[in-house]
Chain A
Amino acid sequence: MDLGLIIYALNLASIYALMAIGISILWSSVGMINMAHGATFATSGYAAWFVSGALKPAIAATFGKTVMASVMMASVVMLSAVLAGAFCGAVIYALAFLPIHDKPNYSVRSLIITLALNIGVVQSLLWYFGPRNRGLPKVFGFGRWELLDTKIRYDQAGTIVGASLVMILTLAWLRYSRRGLEVRAMMQNAEGAAYSGISRQATALPVLMLTGALAGVAAALLSQTIFVSPTAGVIPLVKGLTIALLGGLGSVSGAVAAAILIGFLEAIVGVIPFLGQRYVMFATFSFIILVLIFRPRGIGGLLDNTRE
């Protein structure tokens, strides 16, 4: 296995981990399977494309062709994607959490509402923007490093570093902030958290906005490698869901481990000559089925058992 393959695998893994962690945290704290994560992904990609396109002349006029201009461009892309993701999270909160969180069948109904949101948003994007792919401005610039005879593209390196940074920040927020403490309390025992005065409604909004922002970051990072399109969110959503489940829903470390496993598996299957890219999904799902047969609650999923 050469270094290029490892870099490629880590690149995939970091994007998947961003999606999977969002889904996992959301499930264990708010009790919602967010099927609208793919729509959030696609919407943030489009928002980044739209805002960067609109501000391009202004930035070019102010900074010219300096380093400052590309830094500004990069921050505009990332910021708009993150803000759009957080906004989508707030919309999901208003539609799929707030009206029904104290009503019967909450978990199934929220799943259905987010699924309907996903279908509706993807089709609306398709209808409004058309099926054409859009390229985002390169955040990390073009070019590559030579390291131990392998070429590492800037965008791959930037994705890995950026995603890891965002994940560390998220985990630190969960670990050290007051809000994070409340979220963790809800993850451990929702009822106990309610008894000790933690409001479910007040905690769900930041959690949903945070996971939306994570999807936004993932969108901005993945769009460095592929294009923005209305259906771009489908594969990250399916991958994120499968990895969150494989890691054991609610276990953040399990999700990261599963993301790395699946990233490497996909990278390796992609280069094996007689399998190739067409069998990537096939191999992923076969692997997942195998794991689930031996560990029915996923890799890190002993949580539910200990909870009872």
Chain B
Amino acid sequence: MTVKTYYKVRRRPWEYKLSPDGKVARNRLRLPFTRRHFLKWRDAYNPKSLKRERRLADKKPLWWTIGLLAFVVVTPFLSNSMISIAAIFCIYASINLLWTLIVGTAGIFSLATLAIVGVSGYAAAASNVFLGLPWPFILLVGPMVGFVAGSILAAPSTRLDGLYYALLTMGVAEICRVFVTQLRSLTQTNGAITQVDSFIPEDWFLQRPGLLLGFAGAFCLLLGSLLLWRLINSERLGLLLRTAKTGREDEAFAEAVGIDFRRARLTVFVLSSSALGLVGGFYAMYFKSISPNIFSLDQLLLLFAMMVIGGLGRAEGAVVGAAIVTLIDKGFIEIGPLRIILVAAIMLVVTIFAREGLTGVRDQFRDFRKRKSGERRAQRTEKGGEAMPEEAVEVHDK
């Protein structure tokens, strides 16, 4: 006689749930002046126990808070070189976030990200060194130049598509590099502007307090980029762009319902360009100099590797990728060119196996598991049985 096995069908038995008092009315905190809640709590009654259960439907804010808090608490206790690596990570992560806004949210495949950073960094540094503006103005000049550069670059983006626009922006970066290296007044320093005034006092530069101050500034920059990301993506602009996200059909649909998606794309492009300008000004201040290296293809490829390893189009991908690649690139300088080979190998393996980078692995695994369990369920459902495989999840007791 064969023993019949029973399979339990449950939804997320591992998940932690609160058990609030069902009789008390809910009172949720709202963000001031908006109708938004801070966290996505969802309540439901358990049909078996008839108890009220409360779970956090979106746990990402939790992970972000824990991660960033741990990062900012641990870093001051690290060595000097690690603090500067952490600061560089913050700068790269914010550039990546803004680039992700352009590539992912706006869907404009621009390769001129570092060119905008460089141009506004140069303009800001020049305004400080040659015009004698005090350092707080760098943080004003940077975004202004970024705004102008972004507006100029955004103009052809609606006319050209995809790869052709990428080619154009790559050309712009190259033109910037040649222009800067050919400038007469900068030939003594190989095209670099040095001795830029900074928020880090002169005698603190490369000392521990100076490094800590620089890290604090860079961390604020990262928080600012995250805020901009959040503001654009979760507000109306992001909604409009998500409607016209993929393919010609979606664009046609968006147009038909009256969404001017081109205008929305340009807005996001110009907004992120202005923010990139701010990053450029900060970059010049943090290193107290800026060199034509920022326009080089290698630097751009390194940033691209960060985005790809983390996952294109995701905020957490941009940050995680920046952390991995910066740690390898700046942390293991003693192993020489091997570290670039290591980055390339990681990029290769991640892209072959993961659909959307490291941060997309979880979703990919869930899809895979869902598919497999569906296959298995379909195999063991007997012919003529009462439950079809698609309905089996709905049945409580099999």
Contacts and interface: CB of A to CB of B under 8 A. Distances in A.
B333 interface: no
Interface string A79-103: 0000000000000000100011001
Nearest to B338: A127
Interface string B341-381: 10111011001100110000000000000000000000000
A33 interface: yes
Given A285-B172, A296-B159, 7 more contacts: A95-B348, A100-B351, A116-B347, A120-B344, A278-B178, A278-B182, A297-B164
B171 interface: yes
A86 B172 CA distance: 34
Contacts of B347: 112-113, 115-116, 119
A173 interface: no
A104 interface: yes
Chain A contact surface mostly? helix
Interface of B: 156, 159-161, 163-164, 167-168, 170-172, 174-175, 178-179, 182, 297, 301, 304-305, 308, 312, 336-338, 340-341, 343-345, 347-348, 351-352, 355-356
A105 interface: yes
A19 B282 CA distance: 40
Nearest to A121: B344
Contacts of B352: 95, 99-100, 109, 113
Interface of A: 33, 95, 99-100, 103-105, 108-109, 112-113, 115-117, 119-120, 123-124, 126-127, 234, 238, 241-242, 245-246, 249, 278-279, 281-282, 284-286, 288-289, 292-293, 296-298
Nearest to A125: B337
Contacts of B171: 242, 284-286, 288-289
A286 to B, nearest CB: 7
Nearest to B301: A119
Given A127-B338, A281-B178, A117 B167 contact: no
Contact of B340 (A123, A242, A246): A123
B336 A127 contact: yes
A100 B352 CA distance: 7
Contacts of A109: 351-352
Residue among A33, A117, A249, A282 with max Cβ neighbours from chain B (10 Å): A282
A245 B341 contact: no
B168 A289 contact: yes
Given A109-B351, A112-B351, A120-B345, A279 B164 contact: no
A224 B152 CA distance: 42
Contacts of B159: 293, 296
Contact of A105 (B337, B340, B356): B356
Nearest to B304: A115
Contacts of B161: 296
Contacts of A241: 167
Given A120-B345, A282-B175, A282-B178, A115 B156 contact: no
A292 B160 contact: yes
Contacts of B305: 116, 119
B175 A285 contact: yes
A281 B297 CA distance: 13
